[in-house]
Chains A and B, each alone.
Chain A
Amino acid sequence: MHYCVIGNSHVAALKLGWDRVSAEYPNVRITFFAAPATEMESLEVCGTTLKPGTPSLERYLVLSGKAGQIDTESYDGIALHGMGFSNRFTRSIYNRYRLLEHVPRRNGFLISRDGFSEALHGLLISSMGWRVAEKVREALGRPPIMLCQPHPGQRIVETDKRWEIHPEDRESLADLFLQTIEGIRTRGTPVLTQPPETVFGHIFTKTKYVGSPGAFSTAFGRVSGETDAPGTAAVETTHMNAEFGAAFIRQFLGQAQALVSA
């Protein structure tokens, strides 16, 4: 089986994880196409092929996937990872809206569970990941498998006040996220959330799975002229490590055939 994974910097962890576990899957090949930030948004659909819309993206496609374009018919399954398809949207709604069951706050609006989930669905399908998925769907004739962007590392509460979510509300927010994801699955798009063993406090990723800056260049190298971004955060909470990637890849491969044929 030959799978293709497309995404942004989050793909680095999957690539590093695959490097660790690939020996366990002698009959599986995975080709990764990764480009930082929003580069992948410029992909253009040309029949069954996805072509880079910018020279920069072309360089990243060649760097990561050893090809300047993505021929969707070459793979048994295509998965997308990262690109904002994540539970951060749950947090962005929660910052101003709460369910009755949530801990009361001085400010903020009450919202119904259905209203929250519908808003979350709206945000997920406005993400870059979903927009790229639409292009893959157009080229492939069926939706790709969405591999959700990892939850932020548990230490994000130390650096980003927006993630100061009351501990009693976290399970409810996780349920809302999963309920909304289930709705997307029901509408025909396969979605995998991160492996349960990697999750901390329902909405975060355990620190042991969080990576360090520079994972992208570790996984794929650098395009010419690229340097590390200055001012890298002191505490990495966004990107995951090879151990996380290995767990997610194992989970993906355990279900991939069923998801592809569904």
Chain B
Amino acid sequence: MQLRARQFTVIDAEPPPPGLLGRHAQSRGYLLYSARYANIYTVRHLLQLVREAFGAPPKANPVWRRGAAFFDAFRPSVEPEGLRSVDEVIAHRVKHLAAVKAVVETLDVLVFTFGLTEAWIETASGTVFPVAPGVLAGAFDQDVYNFKNFTHAEILADFCALRDEIRAVNPRARFILTVSPVPLAATASGQHVLSATTYSKAILRAVAGELETTFEDVDYFPSYELIASPLARAAYYDESLRNVTPEGVAVAMRAFFDCHDPSGSAREAQDESIEAQEALAECDDEVVCEDAILDAFAPR
């Protein structure tokens, strides 16, 4: 949203229909991403999506149920009440994958935030899901699904494969990586959530750093450090100590625009009122996050 406000060209291959505005659009996965793939927390999920968009069929059933409604298992949040049939989910997914393909083929820069190392996978196929089956839809079966905590080596390899596959169809593609400063709300690793958070962030940050030093077309933007560093004294987290405040978002974005300013307008933009930036950040703050849903409905 802030990128668009600064006249950056942000690809939107699945724009909302007229009348679907603001949080109503965002709650359906519009206006938040370059296509309606919803939050992608792991590199494996992104790799899987790009491969599927370029023709690799999904190895797991992509349709989950909740009551009489049907959901896309790889983005169950984009239709909050679900769709009416398996056929409808598949038809929407085919269109969505075409949009993702168009995004990959036309992008100049892919901005991706490393969100999590932890994920839920279908054991037999290794297919990764953005949320555990049974949370938003579907049903958890321990014989079918399994917890996976991706390692440094796995994430590094996944990103290298992703980079290769994207550059094979779009040689001009470059990458900006960030690491989410939001700590885990819960972990399935068996570790204390503080330890699990540190472990996860350390791996993600290390992978990002290694990729940045290895590839000229990969850059790392330190929004994680701006928000989570002791220098910030936790001032950019709200009272939950998890959610980033509008001020924090504004600080990170100001630093981003200082570094990345294709139009040369960063200085003028910097003079904008803090209120305006906070207003934008407030909107960004409404980003739908399954992590927050998990937190809200987690057993106490």
Contact = CB atoms under 8 A, between A and B. Distances in A.
Whether chains A and B associate is: yes
A244 to B, nearest CB: 27
Contacts of A118: 19-20, 24, 28
Contact of B19 (A109, A112, A114, A120): A120
Interface residues of A, number: 22
A93 B17 contact: yes
Contact of B92 (A112, A119, A124, A126): A112
Nearest to B87: A100
A124 B80 CA distance: 22
A112 B88 CA distance: 9
B81 to A, nearest CB: 5
Interface string B22-55: 0010001000000000000000000000000000
A213 B18 CA distance: 30
A115 B28 contact: yes
A112 B87 CA distance: 12
Contacts of B84: 113
Given A100-B88, A109-B95, A112-B92, A119 B16 contact: yes
Interface string B110-131: 0000000000000000000000
A119 B19 contact: yes
Interface string B1-24: 000000000000011111111001
A122 B18 CA distance: 8
A118 B81 CA distance: 12
B91 interface: yes
Q: How large is the interface on B (under 10, 10 to 19, 20 to 34, 35 or more residues)?
A: 20 to 34
A252 interface: no
Q: For the complex, would chain A's binding face be called helix, strand, loop or mixed by DSSP majority? A: helix
B252 interface: no
A110 interface: yes
B79 A112 contact: yes
Contacts of A96: 17
Given A100-B88, A115-B28, A119-B17, 7 more contacts: A93-B18, A97-B17, A112-B79, A114-B79, A118-B20, A119-B16, A123-B18
9 contacts: A89-B18, A89-B19, A97-B17, A110-B91, A115-B28, A116-B17, A122-B20, A122-B21, A123-B19
